[in-house]
Structure 1
């Protein structure tokens, strides 16, 4: 068979097109990237450091520890600054000045009552009320607080009694619930103890703070 224009040139067949210049073979699956239908997975988020939280907790703990130590040192300082009667272990007597910390105490007198306050507004003793009249002076260089609740009464049998702040409320001039005393000033007040009628009170232990050694005074 003859062809007017010569033999036909073979066209690109299904296998010949792989050899055409510029042909890039297709890859399966297509590499990730723009234009291929999906993007590469995002990088994992950075891990949060726990260092700031740990430092905050440590700081709070240290603050509480040093704060508590400061209060303890202050109270121990008051406990060491005791007067002659307390530091030598002896006890003063009524009318004699004794000192605990920066507070100086003078017991003026004692009395007993079955009831304090008025008929309508008052308190009946479980046993009998022992009223201890005291003068409290600040001999330091800064204000001090006097609390009747810090004081103790001791009887002949060695039993200790706490002051009755509930009964002291009904005394007009008790001045023993809470008194702030500036340097050089003094107040007179009454400390009330509810004791058995059979008890024989022998010692009152007067304190500047709840942790102080206290100054003792013999009671008549």
Structure 2
């Protein structure tokens, strides 16, 4: 027995609805995957990087790429940076990480404060405050400085963190793609 025209039309509509449902589910899955990467991607990336990167304590030298970093101290609780004419006030408190960077590679490399991260004990990540860093390094040549092989520069990386927090770890990078050096405080 052959299907009537009404039955074949209904079958085509069902097939189209099933196909549309499959496309809709696929699209929602892609959106969910992108949202997951955006939400948790940095944490996953950080765990992968930490599995490969070196860890040192405050005052110890450690290497990432062509740079050897030594963090000599961290001072927090600073409300303002600069002088009486040009200054900047912290939103929370400034924490200053004093460090030495030596190029142990074979070609010039540029130090960028934007690549240097700080973490609180609960894992909150803080970016460097470049404007405050320029004021804090008025007598140093650390930022955006091309460091030739064998040369060493000293300066301060500045972080503006909440008043009730402190820095437990720094993650220092020679480049955006490097594994990173962890400095535990």
TM-score computed with the length of structure 2 as normaliser: 0.68
- Are 2:161 and 1:190 aligned? no
Q: 2:140 & 2:113 partners in 1: Cα distance? A: 9
- Are 2:131 and 1:166 aligned? yes
Runs of 4+ deviating beyond 6 Å = none
Cα deviation, 1:141-178, whole Å, max 9, x if unaligned, reads 11111111110001011010000001112121353421
- Are 2:180 and 1:214 aligned? yes
Q: 1:155 & 1:91 partners in 2: Cα distance? A: 16
Alignment of 1:54-73 (within 5 A): none
CA contact (8 A) 2:171 2:180 kept: yes
Aligned CA-pair RMSD: 1.5
Q: 1:174 & 1:132 partners in 2: Cα distance? A: 14
> 2:65 — aligned with what?
101
**For 1:170, what is the secondary structure of its paired residue?**
helix
Q: 1:87 & 1:105 partners in 2: Cα distance? A: 19
Equivalent residues, number: 134
CA contact (8 A) 2:59 2:70 kept: yes
Q: 2:182 & 2:64 partners in 1: Cα distance? A: 9
| CA positional deviation for 1:90 | 5.3
More strand by share: 2
**For 2:105, what is the secondary structure of its paired residue?**
coil
- Are 2:120 and 1:151 aligned? no
| CA positional deviation for 1:127 | 0.4
**For 1:201, what is the secondary structure of its paired residue?**
coil
| CA positional deviation for 1:120 | 2.3
Q: 1:210 & 1:90 partners in 2: Cα distance? A: 16
Bigger RCO (CA 8 Å, 6+ sep): 2
Q: Is there any run of 5+ residues in structure 2 with no aligned partner, and where?
A: 1-49
CA contact (8 A) 2:54 2:63 kept: no
CA contact (8 A) 1:203 1:218 kept: yes
Which of 171, 178, 182 is residue 205 of structure 1 equivalent to?
Answer: 171
CA contact (8 A) 2:53 2:180 kept: no
More helix by share: 2
Q: CA 1:174–1:204 in 2, change beyond 3 Å: closer, same or farther?
A: farther
Q: Is there any run of 5+ residues in structure 1 with no aligned partner, and where?
A: 1-85
Q: 1:190 & 1:169 partners in 2: Cα distance? A: 9
